Chains A and B, each alone.
Chain A
Amino acid sequence: MSLVNLLQQRGDLWRGADYSPVVQPGMPTGFDFLDQQLVGSGWPRGAVTEILTDDREGRGGLGLVVPSLAALSREARWIVLVGPPLIPYAPGLVARGVDISRLLLLYPRGQQERLWALEQALRSDACSAVLGWLGRVSAGALRRLQLAAAVGKSGGFLFRPVQVAQESSPVALRLRVRPAGEEVELEILKRRGSWPLGGVRISAN
């Protein structure tokens, strides 16, 4: 028996030749450089993206997703915001091309209700994007959200403080953003189909 045959009997070996990822087209982020870095050339669809920010509220990541929200708001589906920390400002969103009539703002009381609402919205195929502001949350809860997103085929975005970066996460994509005046500094902590990527700057507008 040849070595190749022997190796093929082992279930724990990953063979590079078998690797043919079925890539779902993503949702264009609006930043060319970022699109190039992501599988499917955009934010993953049917999956959850975590965006970690230095400010504890998680307000800093909204600017990064607004260009894709502007595109998604042309669809006849909801864009759901669960527990935004401040008032999402209508004139600012409109100025960036977001059709705000597609926005659904939820302010559930407590973490349990927030997770429930996120899961419902992600699971329903009535939403194009679901944004959630969560602090500390268990990996099990994140996995549930990831599964729900796969069912509803919507894009989930969770904004969390950078302090959770050390905790492992089951989500598809994890980024860290840092504002830098007119630009933002991006770090890809985890992505599918490739290695992490450190410190790149893209224009914030």
Chain B
Amino acid sequence: MHWLAIYLPRLPLEVLASSDDSRSSLAVSERRGSCRRIVLCDEAAVADGIRVGMNTAAARAVSESLCVLERDRGRELSALEGLALWAGGFTSQVSLAPPRGLLLELGGSLRLFGGIRSLLLQIRSGLRGFGYQALLCLAPTPGGALLLAGDGREGVIRDIAGLRRALASLPLHRIPLERGKRDALYGMGLQRLGDLLALPAAGLGRRLGQEFLHYLERILGQAPDPQRLFEPPAWFQRRLELPAEVRSTKALRFAARRLILELSGFLLARQAGTQRLDWLLVYEGGEMYRFRLGLRTPEREPARFQQLLRERLERLELAAPVWEVGLTVRDIQPLTGRPLNLFTAEQEGREAGQHLLERLQARLGGEVVSSIRWVPDHRPERAWRRCAPDEAASGYPPGEGRKEQSPTGRPLWLLAEPVLLEVRNGRPWYGGRLELGAERERIETGWWDGGEVARDYFVAVSHSGERLWIYRELGAGRRWYLHGFF
């Protein structure tokens, strides 16, 4: 068994304050019995003389600039669950070890990730992405790994004998024991777990209870220690309360990175990808803003999600400081691993095209990016329409004659609305006299659907030499209009 314990010594602080918090010195307090005590503080607070275990009132007296935050175990647990989702990308056997730990059974993953060193490296770099300080210890038993990581002993312990040696030097205060019993052990002159293990088991059982003996057997690998495995939900739905209110999209992007990493692990565990990421921002005061990031093909690469989010956020004005970010992904599609070297040039090109499209749509908005289609309609303004880029069809449908045969041809530019032309001396005028071409094309159609059109089209050359597509109404007005440019 290869149990990796991930211990997050600063988690209570990390869920409450961002790493670049400007507040001078920070401490986390929690109510214990009748008074509040400091459970964790940062370096600045330590330098001011604050110590873990201090009464909060006393701590405030020691340091005026101290900022005391109230511990939020709910957020800590939520952070652990998020990490467990992410860790699903490495192994299917993940177990929460609250309040500050996570356990991963890596025996089945070693080969896939290229051995223990390489796997630990990948886990470490992932944890850095979350911004958590983490201690990692790998050992044959989950309990042993967690104890050692909690004591700050990082490393890889491969066998039971090595584990026993490492645990022997563990100070007794790391062992979960009632205070009275621990004090009794100190009273007997015992300091370390090794001192305890050297005593006869029968006597220990009488003093500390059978339950504790079983615990020792489990951490030493003498008895099985089944873990309750974390079960990922059917779809991804996470909300992240931000440690400090976020006022810039850049900071928001940074905060959202955790959710993206969690999502990628969640998807990897299922060999899946997604095309739809639904984001939620909760503003100060509770107002919510939702937006969706769409992808052309299923993806799970965190870097791709991150990039799309960046493009999208760049055109977002934050209406108010953001308190909370949420991400929901229900669209989960199978995505098998693709060996990179099997890409053909064409596939690569198509992928580059898709990626460009996604980036443009994310930043500019879907409606800003389009293509055009030809529509079989004789009315010029209805002979085309805007369409989604992937909906575009090439050229004419089969069986249709080429429009080139039309007497006036078709211009390259069409005006959204025809422009009424001035008439001077009975001739149309556009900044100067227009020379009408010899060809006339009559378009008279559409009476059946109300969009009736009756016009004579001409090509005209303007005084500046430009060729224009103009028409004259056949109806009552007989007015001239400019409709396009060649």
Contacts and interface: CB of A to CB of B under 8 A. Distances in A.
Query: Does B associate with A?
Result: yes
B465 A178 contact: yes
Contacts of A13: none
Interface residues of A, number: 49
B61 to A, nearest CB: 54
Nearest to A180: B465
Nearest to A76: B349
A87 B386 CA distance: 10
Instruction: Tell me what chain B mostly uses at the interface: helix, strand, loop, or mixed.
Output: mixed
A89 interface: yes
B363 interface: yes
A165 B465 CA distance: 20
A81 B413 CA distance: 13
B395 interface: yes
B464 A76 contact: no
A32 interface: no
B424 interface: no
A66 B486 CA distance: 11
B347 to A, nearest CB: 10
Interface string A76-96: 111000000111111111111
A125 B353 CA distance: 8
Contacts of A117: 360, 363-364
Contacts of A138: none
A87 B416 contact: yes
Contacts, number: 149
Interface stretch (A34-42, A106-114, A191-199): A106-114
Band of interface residues on B: 35 or more
A106 B368 contact: yes
A134 interface: no
A127 interface: yes
A89 B370 contact: no
A91 B384 contact: yes
Interface stretch (A2-10, A55-63, A168-176): A55-63
Contacts of A89: 384, 410-414, 484
Q: Which one of A66, A85, A103 has the greatest number of beta carbons of chain B within 10 Å?
A: A103
Nearest to A91: B410
A104 B364 contact: no
A105 interface: yes
Given A91-B410, A117-B364, A127-B356, A181 B467 contact: yes
Contact of B373 (A100, A104, A116, A125): A100
Contacts of A59: 413, 485
26 contacts: A60-B466, A76-B350, A77-B353, A78-B353, A86-B413, A89-B412, A91-B403, A92-B484, A94-B374, A94-B395, A95-B403, A95-B404, A95-B410, A100-B373, A100-B395, A101-B395, A105-B386, A109-B368, A113-B363, A117-B364, A120-B356, A124-B355, A125-B352, A181-B465, A204-B467, A204-B486
